[in-house]
Amino acid sequence: MPLLTIHLAERTLRIPYTPGPSLRRILEGADLRVRAACKGSGACGMCRVKIEQGTLAPPTRDEQFHLGSEQLSAGIRLACKVRPEADLTLSFLIPPPISPWRILTERPYQQPCYVRGALSEVLSAKVATSYGLIVDIGTTTLTVALLDLNRREWLGGRSGKNPQSFLGADVVSRLIAAQDSPDDAATLSRLVIDAIGAALNDIGLREGVDPGQVTTCVLAGNTAMLSLLSGKNFHLLLRSDHWAKPVDCEPDSTSSWLETWGAPRQATVRLLPPLGGFVGSDLLAGLVAVNIAQDHNPGLFIDFGTNTEIALWDGGRLWVTSAAGGPAFEGCGLTCGSPAEAGAIYRVLPSGNASELVYETIQHGPPKGVCGSGLVDLLACLLDTGKLTNMGKFSPDVPAEGFEIAGPPDELRLTLRDVDLLQRAKAAIGAGVAVLLGNAGLAMTDLKRVFCAGTFGAHLNLTNARRIGLLPPSTQAIITSCGNTSLGGCEALLSFADAEELLNRLRTDARLINLSSSADFEPLFLDNLYLEPMAVTS
């Protein structure tokens, strides 16, 4: 695999890459920005880099127009027009701007494959330029994307931390803060509105598109995030008698939102209503994206996150619930944890030496922590090498302070507390799956499809997930990692009429199960604490 060597002011980066995409896209995949304002068409001439070593194809017509012979002779090229195929060394003429947003160079979710029906009313309207804003509001991560609705093109996407986290990493802490203080409630809402505006502005500036041409917005998220955004009924989620009831999160007005986002005041804003309790519209949007009800084959859908939502399609009815996954899936709250970003260990493999493991990091940089998928791999490998028992205890040869992942100076250790956090999260999910199967009268072997959604699901090693009991054991089911299906569902709802019909059908057919009121939950939770294949009976 060829290597990009990039000289920055403070460090030198070396990035393996696969030939094919433009240099701009390769750099963006490594969270390195180049200045641009033309969506990579070559029209603006701003994405200039200096090639210090390496061979490239001759300059394109756009490069000749913007750069001239003197700059081209000096090795200056346009990153959007260069398609490297071998080792290359380069530097930036202007240092890339720092941004808290991670660039999504392509759709981070499975494309809806079922949509063959009529266009939605949005696309049926003859509008010269019409942009659609889609947003997934997660407890830990906020994801925003902008679409050209007429051309059905992806204009750009951004992903970043939900800024509400300073008032609590989990939903309950934020709900309590909002209930106790009207000022905190207003702050929690404003933080997300402002963050969506900042992400949209980042897309606009970088991709050369005008947020003023946004005509419609669709937002999905878990119930707590939607209620905090709208400022309505968040207190109901702190009452157990509402954990299986609908929660009205419809905002009274969105005019100030549109103003913050720089969108026209006549643009429409649609906040997809949650199903009820802690089961949000992100789950429903995800089910639309994967078209779980396309046939009568039973299917399981798990949207991993701080609040993990689970849906079971039994062939004619939808059974849904939510489980407290905790922040471990996001790499948060762990001694050795890291979000799924540059430097995070996302994959762990056995080596030829039984006592050693191989760690792979996002963007191939030095390890700075372990994200959720890496933690699953690590536990599976430690089980296989005997360093960890199925009860979540280290073998006697592992030091009391934990298993060493990386030594000084950037020491990383997996502690028993880290193991316990994932055990509890996966036990809650396993119990939730078992409760839904029991209510539907199905066995694990009846499942034909299993969908793993969310950022965590996108990087997940399915074999290791089954090994520790995070996913159903190997059966006839086809298991698919789907990524951010919430965004996929939002886009489908903007694009196709039959997606809307499916959403309404799922909402009507859904049966919401409150795990806290299930007598089977506690014994199933205890059975699923072990690091072994998922238990479905207590």
pLDDT tens digits, 300-335 = 999 988 789 999 999 999 999 998 877 777 777 788
Give the Cα separation of 133 and 142 in Å (integer): 13
Q: How many residues does the chain have?
A: 538
The pLDDT, as a whole number, for residue 415 is 94
The pLDDT, as a whole number, for residue 117 is 52
**Sorting pLDDT into bands at 50, 70 and 90, what band is 180?**
very high
Level-2 CATH architecture, domain 284-326+421-527: 2-Layer Sandwich (3.30)
User: Could you tell me the CA-to-CA distances from 323 to 237, 310, 417 in Å, in that order?
Assistant: 14, 8, 20
Q: 284-326+421-527: same fold as 3-92?
A: no
**Percentage of the chain lying above the pLDDT 70 cut:** 94
pLDDT tens digits, 430-472 = 999 999 999 999 999 999 999 998 877 777 899 999 999 999 9
Residue 213: closest CA among 205, 222, 221, 204: 204
In contact, 361 and 336? CB cutoff 8 Å: no
Peptide bond into 409 cis (omega under 30): yes
**Sorting pLDDT into bands at 50, 70 and 90, what band is 1?**
confident
pLDDT tens digits, 242-300 = 888 889 999 999 999 999 999 999 999 999 999 998 899 999 999 999 989 888 899 99
User: What sections of 385-472 are H helices per DSSP?
Assistant: 416-440, 455-459, 462-467
The pLDDT, as a whole number, for residue 258 is 97
Residue 284: closest CA among 296, 297, 267, 270: 270
The pLDDT, as a whole number, for residue 525 is 94
In contact, 277 and 477? CB cutoff 8 Å: no
In terms of average pLDDT, the best of 25-29, 49-53, 165-169 is 49-53
Q: To which H or E segment does residue 214 belong? A: strand 214-221
Unique residue bearing structure tokens 């050369």: 208
* pLDDT over 80 at 97, yes or no: no
Crossing angle for the helix pair 485-495 and 281-290, to the nearest 10 degrees = 70
Q: What CATH number labels 102-279? A: 3.30.420.480
Q: Enter the pTM of the model.
A: 0.85
Q: Residue type for 39, please?
A: K
Half-sphere exposure of 212 (CA within 13 A, CB side): 3
Beta strand segments in 317-408, E? 318-324, 344-350, 357-361, 369-370, 403-406
The pLDDT, as a whole number, for residue 121 is 59
Chain-centroid distance, C-alpha 270: 21
Task: Pull the structure tokens for residue 489.
Answer: 């569902």
**Sorting pLDDT into bands at 50, 70 and 90, what band is 114?**
very low
Q: What residue ranges do the domains of the chain occupy?
A: 3-92, 102-279, 284-326+421-527, 336-414
* pLDDT over 80 at 31, yes or no: no
| DSSP codes, 498-510 | HHHHHHHHHHHHE
Alpha-carbon dihedral angle through residues 271, 104, 152, 79, given to the nearest 10 degrees? 150
Give the Cα separation of 100 and 15 in Å (integer): 21
CATH superfamily of 3-92: Beta-grasp domain (3.10.20.30)
Task: Pull the structure tokens for residue 191.
Answer: 């933080």
Mean pLDDT of the chain: 88
Beta bridge partners of 310: 302, 321
In contact, 63 and 41? CB cutoff 8 Å: no
Q: How much is the average pLDDT of 59-84?
A: 93
**Sorting pLDDT into bands at 50, 70 and 90, what band is 104?**
confident
